[in-house]
Structure 1
Amino acid sequence: MKIGFIGTGNMGCAIIKGYLTANPKKADFIYVYNHHVEKAQTLQEELGIHNTKSIKELVDNSDIVVLAVKPNTFEQVMPQVAAAITTQKTLVSIAAGVSISYLEGFMLRGVGVIRVMPNTPSLVGEGMASVSRNKAVCEEAFTKVLELFSSIGMVQEISESLIDAVVGVSGSSPAYAYMFIEALADGAVAEGMQRKQAYQFAAQAVLGAAKMVLETGLHPGELKDQVCSPAGTTIEAVRSLEKSRFRSSVMEAVHICAEKSKNMSK
């Protein structure tokens, strides 16, 4: 199936490059459009994909059309997409706050629509994406979209009703993780470690802890208990975090983020 990308910003490029890294012989099946012509031209020269001159040309040549543009451009982009798309094609959106029903409102009845919520670690092949679909999406197209986003990390299908929770727990949470890594490094610097070294120690510790959760299948609380020796250093640090309402603060951040996402969708 041929895949077209409207928009070649950071996320669009990450998806394309990740997919082609996993499928190096599929460049001929990728089409792109960007109103900044030079950006799309550069990608064509770098990756061997097809650069199109208009949204209509891209839609005409694609089985799956990926909207990789900012939500504030949808009012301009979607009428052009709707004028060309047919029920034999599938539309994919990666924009936050843009519902499936909103997209359906632009188009003929029966067009398959998939809503994806990726996150920025997709840029290094460690993304987490949710996918939600309407009833018109065929299995072949859905399987292809899962393959596409699996090439840049992990992907799971969810009900669209849970997408605001996804925004809070994975879409926006890299920012919380960066703050945590920065704070860990600040603490190490305060204890005498060089800044660059402190970032490496902190980031690798967080990466390793995340892999332990994913690869062992153990509950995070059980893994935490394994590090906490009786009367040891770690349990003292955990006690300090609990005094500062660490877990409650993180839960509140996810809630606030999800609420903001709900309001954006309205």
Structure 2
Amino acid sequence: MKTTIGFIGGGRITKIFLEGFKNKNVEFESVKVYDPNNETLDALASDFPAVKKAGTPEEAAQAKVVVIAVHPPVVMETLEKIAGVVNDETFVVSLAPKITIEKIASKVKTANIVRMIPNATSYINEGYNPLAFHPAMLKKEKKQIKKLFKPLGKTFETEEHKLEGYAIISGMLPTYFWFQWQELETIGEKTGLSKEEAAKIIRTTLKNAIKLYYKSGLTPEEVMDLIPVKPIGENEEEIKNTLNSKLLGLFEKIKP
């Protein structure tokens, strides 16, 4: 689907998408990005020479595919700004939780409305990106959108009411672990391992531990019982409580 694409919002997720597209040599007729921060736009244009800076949201929204890459509190006002530009052939793709397709449809004159909860691993084309479509969107248009975003990783349709769950359990999942892996690398160095050795050990063990947990046929309890010594076992309940309070608390804030 070689087309024009416009991003409103030039932050992290736009960079992730552009990197994923670049990795797979995806070409567009034009790529425009609007962001109120000129430094952000300059950085994107430097990293991705195909990007053209849009002076207004309306200019970016003249594209065939318009990606709304802003935080939930400003989605509706952004849609109001571009409402006069969007037509019935425009694809509007919102990456924000909380703001429903019904609310988006109240501001723009198209049934080609898509919501996506993107994953940062799209940066390396290993994303896990659920989509929800406007009920009136035709199968042909759905297929075009799936094809467009397929280079970013696994892209699939789900029910809209599940998207915020995906945001908590997939979209933000890496943040629950990345800092721990980094700290374990540091601890590994303190035990005498090189930084490279520590990184390889953690990477390999994590990969295989996930396989063991999900593919061994053992119950979670049986898997966890395979290692008798649990250095942070006494902190497990505290960690579980933190996960529940923080993640379910956030879910309450982002659900429609």
Q: TM class, shorter-chain normalised? A: 0.7 to 0.9
Q: TM-score, normalised by structure 2?
A: 0.78
Q: Which structure 2 residues correspond to residues 202-241 of structure 1 after superposition, within 5 A? A: 202-207=202-207, 209-210=209-210, 212=211, 220=214, 222=216, 235-237=226-228, 240=230
The answer for the alignment partner of 2:255 in structure 1 is: 265
Q: Structure 1 or 2: larger helix share?
A: 1
Question: Structure 1 residues 261, 29: CA separation in 2 closer, same or farther (over 3 Å shift)?
Answer: same
Where in structure 2 are there 5+ consecutive unaligned residues? none
The code of the aligned residue for 1:176 comes to Y
Structure 2 CA distance, aligned partners of 1:242 and 1:161? 36
2 CA distance for matches of 1:205 and 1:149? 31
One-letter code of the match for 2:227?
E
**In the TM superposition, what whole-angstrom CA distance separates every residue of 1:151-177 from its partner, at most 9, and x where no partner exists?**
222222110111232122211211223
Q: In structure 2, do the counterparts of structure 1 residues 149 and 259 end up closer, same or farther at CA, with 3 Å as the change threshold?
A: farther
Q: Which residue in 2 is equivalent to 1:216?
A: none
In 1, Cα distance between equivalents of 2:252 and 2:54: 35
Q: Pairwise mapping of residues 91-240 of structure 1 onto structure 2 (< 5 A)?
A: 91-108=92-109, 110-182=110-182, 184-185=184-185, 188=188, 192-194=192-194, 197-207=197-207, 209-210=209-210, 212=211, 220=214, 222=216, 235-237=226-228, 240=230
- AA matched with 2:10: T
Deviations 1:82-140 (A, max 9, x none): 222122112111123322223223234x4321111112222333322111111133334
CA offsets per residue over residues 48-82 of structure 1, 9 Å max, x none?
Answer: 2333222222222x111101122233243221122
Give TM-score scaled by structure 1 length: 0.75
The answer to whether the 8 Å contact 1:165/1:254 transfers is no
Q: Tell me the residue number matched to 1:7.
A: 9
Uncovered stretches (5+) of structure 1, i.e. residues with no partner: 214-218
Percent identity (aligned): 17
8 Å CA contact retained: 2:16, 2:120? no
Letter in 2 for 1:264: I
SS state of the match for residue 163, structure 1?
helix
Kindly state the Cα deviation for residue 243 of structure 1 after the two structures are TM-superposed. 5.8
Name the structure 2 match of 1:71.
72
1:150/1:204 Cα in 2 relative to 1: closer, same or farther (>3 Å)?
farther
Amino acid at match of 1:236: I
CA drift of 1:202 comes to: 1.1
Give the letter aligned to residue 177 of structure 2: A
Change over 3 Å in CA distance of 1:18–1:263 after alignment to 2: same
RMSD: 3.6
Q: Is contact 2:16-2:123 (8 Å) kept?
A: yes
